[in-house]
Amino acid sequence: MFKIFCAAMISMCTVAAFAQEASPTSGAWQGLRASYYGSREIGEVDEKLMSVVAPGSTPDPTATPVAIHFGPQAAGRVKQVRVIIDHNPSPVAATMQLAGNVPIDAIELRLRIDRATSVRAIAELDDGRLEMRSAWVNASGGCSAPPSAGGAGVLGDIRFRPSADHKSLQISIRHPNNSGFQIDPLSGDPIPPHFVAHIRVRAGDQTLLDADTGISLSENPTVRIASKEPLMVPLTLEATDTKQGQFRATWQGAAARSGGG
């Protein structure tokens, strides 16, 4: 039954991708907006406050880089950022809670993009104001593409890649992040969903970022945070997946300690 269901869902997504041409003005966002924000006013114009950068045509729909930049008026004042991909099977890629008074200037994720769609970042500031910026991305098949050949490795292994000045840090978690829409290329069987559902980044006892995540994050989920000041250390990442796997690593400013459960 599970195989039949997954095959049907994959077929539906594939047919939809070819049967209709997505439009930046499609109604998908209107339903999502009502579900998450009701009738609240959302600002959309000030690029100096916040912006979203993504490739217009992604070279890799399974790992599309999407960066959210905060200007001086927003950095350190953002309480929450929700990333929504209008036409993905699971549109909410991540809902991230940010620590107050921490001047994070940019967050970058690598996302699965299933077909041509708007990718949106909706930020809530500490005064309750909502701001949204979006980018249009042409893509195909990001959620149903089979696992990469480089997917082997220790589940939950965590890698920290700091910039030379320690003002930005990229964190990657070795994990298949299976979407539930993929087919095993060897057996032909559907691959059950198995993905990272929660990520927390802490600096000492303070939580910098607390995120609920889903299948729209790429295989080996990756997040990069950047600040105008060197990031505080030690910095610890904790992650939990849908099979209750728990993974943790600490960056001391040079080498990192990692482990999985």
User: What percent helix, strand, coil does the chain show, rounded to 5?
Assistant: 10, 45, 45
Sequence-separated (6 or more) residues with CB below 8 Å from residue 139:
57, 58, 61, 64, 113, 114, 115, 116, 117
- On the question of pLDDT at 258 being above 60, the answer is no
pLDDT at 102: 78
Mean of per-residue pLDDT scores for the chain: 88
For residue 6, name the pLDDT band (cuts at 50, 70, 90): very low
Q: Please tell me the pTM assigned to this model.
A: 0.88
- CATH number for the domain formed by residue range(s) 2-260: 2.60.40.2470
Average pLDDT over residues 56-68: 97
Which H or E element spans position 237? strand 235-241
Average pLDDT over residues 129-140: 97
pLDDT at 13: 43
pLDDT at 150: 61
pLDDT at 126: 94
Q: How far apart are CA 234 and CA 73, in angstroms?
A: 27
Lowest mean pLDDT across 77-86, 143-152, 227-236 = 143-152
pLDDT at 152: 62
Question: Which of helix, strand or coil describes residue 36?
Answer: helix
- On the question of pLDDT at 19 being above 70, the answer is no
- On the question of pLDDT at 259 being above 80, the answer is no
Lowest mean pLDDT across 11-25, 38-52, 177-191 = 11-25
- On the question of pLDDT at 21 being above 70, the answer is no
- On the question of pLDDT at 133 being above 50, the answer is yes
pLDDT in tens, 110-128: 999 999 999 999 999 999 9
- On the question of pLDDT at 36 being above 90, the answer is yes
Q: How far apart are CA 93 and CA 52, in angstroms?
A: 15
13, 143 in Cβ contact below 8 A?
Answer: yes
Q: What is the total residue count of the chain? A: 261
User: 192: left (phi > 0), else alpha (psi -120 to 50), else beta?
Assistant: beta
102, 208 in Cβ contact below 8 A?
Answer: yes
For residue 3, name the pLDDT band (cuts at 50, 70, 90): very low
- On the question of pLDDT at 12 being above 70, the answer is no
Report the share of the chain in percent with pLDDT over 70.
86
- On the question of pLDDT at 22 being above 60, the answer is no
Q: How far apart are CA 138 and CA 118, in angstroms?
A: 9
pLDDT at 164: 92
Residues β-bridged to residue 235: 203, 251
Question: Residue ranges of the domains in the chain?
Answer: 2-260
Q: How far apart are CA 158 and CA 17, in angstroms?
A: 34
pLDDT in tens, 135-177: 999 999 999 999 987 656 799 999 999 999 999 999 999 999 9
